[in-house]
Amino acid sequence: MQTHQTMMEAIMAEVHATAYATGRGNLSPGVIKAMQQAPRHEFVPENMRKLAYANEPLPIGHGQTISQPYIVAIMTELLSLKDTDTVLEIGTGCGYQAAVLACLAAQVYTLEVVEELAAEASARLARLGFDNIDVRVADGHEGLPAHAPFDAIIVTAAPEAVPMALTGQLKPGGRMVIPVGTYRYAQSLLLLEKDSAGDIHERDVLPVAFVPMVSSLQRS
């Protein structure tokens, strides 16, 4: 049976194996601690709990998944978060990625277009004591202008292109990690950095497979 420890060992092995692409041969102590603190078994369906600490994505209903732990870890690592940062997450899902972010940042805003998932995640995060996470039902393509700009933005579903609204809501010096691509098995994980002049610098990090990023119009 997989345990939290075996999950961390699998994550670290994959981090080392992909260092040539990510530029990160290790996880920072903060990210390791966050991955250890977030109880993944609380974020998966009851019938999936025996697989909670396997290094693989799992279905959570509504056509969505909880991401592979390695992907959660490396996306978080690429954000280079500070404990004073405010983060915007697009795609709350079950709330697991938000929980990891909340262990590192001052405030996390997370948007979910599926109302049922947002309600479940909000209740779950509150029950687990994550009081610096604000879950909203909203179309992630539009971001959250009322609370912008953000130190970091993370997107956990794949749009066909980077939404301009999100780059506009990133602070100078900020980072965005986002999967982009039309087809689930032809997507790239991108790291975008905004410099002091407001220009965006983009790097293709890894091939990935995420569920598509859905707009509120597509849900209606």
Q: At what angle do helices 69-79 and 29-37 cross, to 10 degrees?
A: 140
Question: Are residues 189 and 178 in contact, defined by beta-carbon separation less than 8 angstroms?
Answer: yes
Using alpha carbons, list the distances in angstroms from residue 152 to 12, 14, 84, 100, 213: 23, 24, 11, 14, 19
* Bridge partners (DSSP) listed for residue 89: 110, 154
The Cα–Cα gap between 76 and 43 comes to: 18
**Which entry of 67, 80, 188, 216 is annotated as an active-site residue?**
67
**Active-site annotation holds for 28:** no
| Catalytic residue ranges | 67
